[in-house]
Amino acid sequence: MTSDILIVDDTVENIRLLSKLLKDEGYQVRGAADGKTALMLCDKKPPSLILLDIMMPGLSGYDVCRQLKEQPATKDIPVIFLSALNELSDKIHAFQAGGVDYISKPFEALEVLARVSTHARIVALQRSLMEKNAQLKMLAETDSLTGLFNRRYLISKVKASSVHYSVILFDIDDFKQVNDQYGHQFGDEVLISLSNRVIELCREQDIAARWGGEEFLIYLPEADQQQANALAEMLRLSINQCGIEPAGNISASFGVASQIQGENLELLIKLADSALYRAKLKGKNCVELALPP
């Protein structure tokens, strides 16, 4: 990814010279002739790196840097000060304001390129690390086949919450026969299709997880038994009507349990599992409510 560099200097000639120097090296470059414009550009589209003059009319480079460091969207942008102020106190002031480097004017082209290249590389490595961490987090929290959350993630979220909730436990009816007759690849397609239905119908705050095999669990915070039953019935109808060829209609059976006296997740799942078992005994493709513990 090409680095986007913002040059902030009240001398237009400096912006022109630096822009040409950096563009020739393949960088994307923008310019601002004052601090106010620089902050506006950063707010609109944060750059990868900033070359910032200190002595400017209105906001000084120090002021601009401090304001950038106060905002979550811009606090991590590396700022290289570029100034004719060469006293040690000026450089210390620049680093105290949040700068990562300091280049003295008149600048040398090779020095500018070397320092910009170093910090652009650091930014690229940081972004790559963040992306990999996000991927690892996703892998740790989600089921790789369906895209739903996994058992571990759902349990951790329930334990971290203190609100009243309900759960829906359900599985696909006669799924082993589907696998045996049409193959495991088709069975995976059924699981994915069903999961998409779950994602479409669940509320934003609900957490749907693949509980294991063809079994799924939905955590519904601040939902009573009636609300959970309504969602389960909607899911049952949606799954039954989706029609996945060549198997045709697929059905699922549901067990619904809701907190009455602060039951924990383990007990609610047992209650929902018992309700699911009764749904199977009643002929499958139906929703059963849990009996009081």
The owner of tokens 């998409």 is: 196
Extract the tokens encoding 288. 């059963």
CB 201 within 8 A of CB 235: yes
DSSP state letter for 142: B
Distance from C-alpha of 266 to C-alpha of 70, rounded to nearest angstrom: 44
Q: Count CB atoms within 10 A of the CB of residue 61.
A: 28
Beta bridge partners of residue 83, listed in sequence order: 104
* Buried b / exposed e along 144-154 (16+ C-beta atoms within 10 A): eebebbbeebb
Q: How far is CA 218 from CA 46, 161, 201, 253, 277, in A?
A: 39, 15, 11, 14, 17
Task: Please give the distance of CA 40 from its chain centroid, rounded to a whole number.
Answer: 26
Cα torsion through 108, 111, 112, 115, rounded to 10 = -170
Residue numbers annotated as active site = 214
Residue 165 contacts residue 222 (beta carbons within 8 Å):
yes
**Which of helix, strand or coil describes residue 103?**
strand
54 contacts 81 by C-beta, under 8 angstroms: yes
